[in-house]
Amino acid sequence: MNITVQVDEVTLGTVVAEYMAYDEENGPYIAGERTIADLVAEQITARLLKDDGYPRLAARVAEIRTEEIRAAIRPQIEEAIARPLRKTNSYGEPAGAETTLREIIVDEARKAVNEPADRYSREKGTFLTQAVAAEVKKAFAAEIAAAVRQAREQVSAEIGQHVAAAVQEGLRKR
């Protein structure tokens, strides 16, 4: 008895298994297929996940993906910012001249900087004056703290000298 096995060309696309599923009305059916490529990919993935370098590799792949996405959408964002558009009223009807998103952003930033910090009391100044005042306060506080620290060190040194002299004087009198 001779058994002859003939194997046609085997490629990564060769199907080696089928996924079975069960439907209550029609019974079992083939839900999908597994190829040699699927099995190879599974083994490569399993080995990569066990490797100590995998976290660095995953982080690098994520970084490259993010860079590519940014590069792909940057022209669309720049076009959207530069493209003219027309402002509308609350009914969606055109109102006023054409403008760009860039001009709208600049106008809103200008308003935010020059707008009073408190709408009910203009005595508190604008957002810009409050931000500048806060930074000036921080700078002065740092300078004052440094000056106090330096004065404290000088006083400590002077007191230390007086105490040392008094101790020596007291020891001499004994």
- pTM listed for this prediction: 0.38
pLDDT at 21 over 80: yes
Average pLDDT, the chain: 87
Inter-axis angle of helices 101-114 and 54-82, nearest 10: 100
Report the SS3 class of residue 72.
helix
* Structure confidence at residue 43 (pLDDT): 93
What pLDDT sits at residue 71? Answer: 95
- φ, ψ for residue 19 (rounded to 5)? -90, 130
pLDDT higher than threshold 90 for residue 60: yes
- As a whole number, mean pLDDT of residues 8-34 equals 88
Give the Cα separation of 119 and 125 in Å (integer): 10
Q: Residue type at 152?
A: R
Q: What is the pLDDT of residue 94?
A: 86
| pLDDT number for residue 121 | 77
Backbone angles phi, psi at 103, to 5 degrees: -65, -40
Q: What percent of the chain has pLDDT over 90?
A: 19
Q: How confident is the model at residue 40 (pLDDT cuts 50, 70, 90)?
A: very high
47 vs 166: which has the higher pLDDT:
47
Could you give the count of Cα atoms lying within 13 Å of 13 in the half-sphere of its Cβ? 1
Collapsed DSSP state (helix, strand, coil) of residue 71: helix
pLDDT of residue 83: 87
How far is 127 from 115, CA to CA, in rounded Å? 6
- Alpha-carbon distance values, 161 to 155, 165, 169, 172 (Å): 10, 6, 12, 17
pLDDT number for residue 65: 96
Q: Which residue has the higher pLDDT, 165 or 149?
A: 149
The C-alpha atoms of residue 115 and residue 113 are separated, in whole angstroms, by 6
